[in-house]
Structure 1
Amino acid sequence: MNTAEDRAPAPARGAERLTCTLDELVARASVLAAAGSRRILGIAGAPGAGKSTVAQAIADSLGGQAARVGMDAFHLANSVLAAHGSRDRKGAPDTFDPWGYANLLRRLKTNNEPVVYAPVFDRSLEESIGSAVPVARDVPLVITEGNYLLLDAEGWRESREQMDEVWFLDIGDGERQLRLRRRHEAFGKLPEEAEAWALGSDQRNADVVASTRERADLIIDLTHAPGETPAQA
């Protein structure tokens, strides 16, 4: 039986809600990939909702038809955050470079260059690495994922304009916070530190993300077929 914390709020009017499997999402993404010109699919959700895992699974399933580019690669560097006094809030909207992200998506959408090289965020380093993800001109679908794809703020709005669809992954707070604690511990935090981060900074960011959900094209309750492993990122 679901607890109150695991029951997701009702979707906003006009937002389509879909309960589906990962295979069904792959099928939807394949339609975008076959549209005839470059399409960009956004996958949004709160920290720990499974965005990275789902985006990568779809990209892997579509093979050369899709490439994955993450919003997290536009984290400001730790040295910049330290200078701003915001190192302990890393992950909040103002600790990213949304204009840089918007400009990358614009380059990907116009698709005028033989190859666009996107950055990637390395969780083990807690820093971004530039020019790490090549996206060739003949790749029809770019999948991008992150917390703030639907945020109504400067830079983020310009990013959203480049996306053809945005899907919002919905998940109860109990499971999501458990995933976050496990992830923080896997990357070196002590259990008490992992819990403090998951229930503190991560939760504050999750509350911001939840307020953007009604702007999605599709709100997704992802189910898992037998033998499938639930998304972990």
Structure 2
Amino acid sequence: MIGQDMMRVCDLISSRRQVGVRTIVAIAGPPASGKSTLADNVVQSLNAHQSSAVPLATLVPMDGYHLDNRVLETRSLLDKKGTPETFDGVGFCKAIRGLQSTRHESFHPKFDRQMDLAIAGAIAVHPETPTIVVEGNYLLMDSDPWRTLADVYAATVFVSPTLEELKSRLQRRWIKHGFDPKSALQRATTNDLPNAELVIRESRKADLTLNQNYTEFRMRYAF
């Protein structure tokens, strides 16, 4: 299924490629939906047959714009990490809009899950790279600041398994990070799952929606 989904996303990007400006693509979805893996695979596929040292596509994840844990602590938000208010949403949207310009190289932060912090300047975007894939939970949220990028995205993708599947994946994620099954389930149900429900409920319709059991391919306008 991952391979088929990747091919569908690549086909969508090809059909929406912009002429004379960067093609910026959004891959959104709730936590543990598989959007990060999908986005990474899409970028790897787009770069697989490049003939120069300049990447044809670069991945810029929203997670790099997490607020630092020390900031979250001062705002009593550390236990809510991952919710919209725990990101520099305005800074993220400004940076993504800035990627429309190809006049100079730009640098973006990357989130290190093991260290639980963002690393500044870890992602370089070459000025000649024509396609940017942006990945994150809130990219299609119909609220500010996220919706200010609606006119920036040439194509949008939404990945959303069922809530039961998300619950299972989120619990396994926390177990992987050292929590016992009971504590992992509590972390999943008290913070991550409500975030997932928010993303599913408040996100705008995407051009391509990928679900657990089926794939719906809906284009906003003709190729």
Q: What is the TM-score when the length of structure 2 is the normalising length?
A: 0.84
**Distance of aligned partners of 1:71 and 1:218 in 2 relative to their CA distance in 1, 3 Å threshold:** same
Alignment of 1:44-193 (within 5 A): 44-63=28-47, 64-113=55-104, 115-193=105-183
- Identity rate of aligned residues, in percent? 33
Deviation readout 1:79-115 (Å, 9 max, x if unpaired): 00100001111111111111110111022112221x1
Give ranges in structure 2 of 5+ residues lacking alignment: 48-54, 215-223
Deviation readout 1:61-82 (Å, 9 max, x if unpaired): 0112111000111111100010
Matched, 1:27 2:11: yes
SS at match of 1:166: strand
Q: Does the 8 Å CA contact 1:30/1:62 hold for their aligned counterparts? A: no
Structure 1 residue 179, shift from structure 2 partner: 1.6
SS at match of 1:211: helix
Counterpart-to-counterpart distance in 1, 2:174 and 2:211: 24
Counterpart-to-counterpart distance in 2, 1:31 and 1:203: 34
Structure 1 residue 21, shift from structure 2 partner: 3.2
Letter in 2 for 1:30: S
Q: Does the 8 Å CA contact 1:167/1:216 hold for their aligned counterparts? A: yes
SS at match of 2:58: strand
Counterpart-to-counterpart distance in 2, 1:198 and 1:142: 31
SS at match of 1:183: helix
Q: Does the 8 Å CA contact 2:5/2:210 hold for their aligned counterparts? A: no
Number of aligned residues = 204
2:23 to 14, 36, 39: 39
Give ranges in structure 1 of 5+ residues lacking alignment: 1-19, 225-233
Q: Does the 8 Å CA contact 1:166/1:216 hold for their aligned counterparts? A: yes
Structure 1 residue 34, shift from structure 2 partner: 6.8
Q: Does the 8 Å CA contact 2:141/2:204 hold for their aligned counterparts? A: no
Counterpart-to-counterpart distance in 1, 2:157 and 2:7: 15
**Distance of aligned partners of 1:181 and 1:35 in 2 relative to their CA distance in 1, 3 Å threshold:** farther
Q: What is the TM-score when the length of structure 1 is the normalising length?
A: 0.81
Counterpart-to-counterpart distance in 2, 1:197 and 1:121: 20
SS at match of 2:100: helix
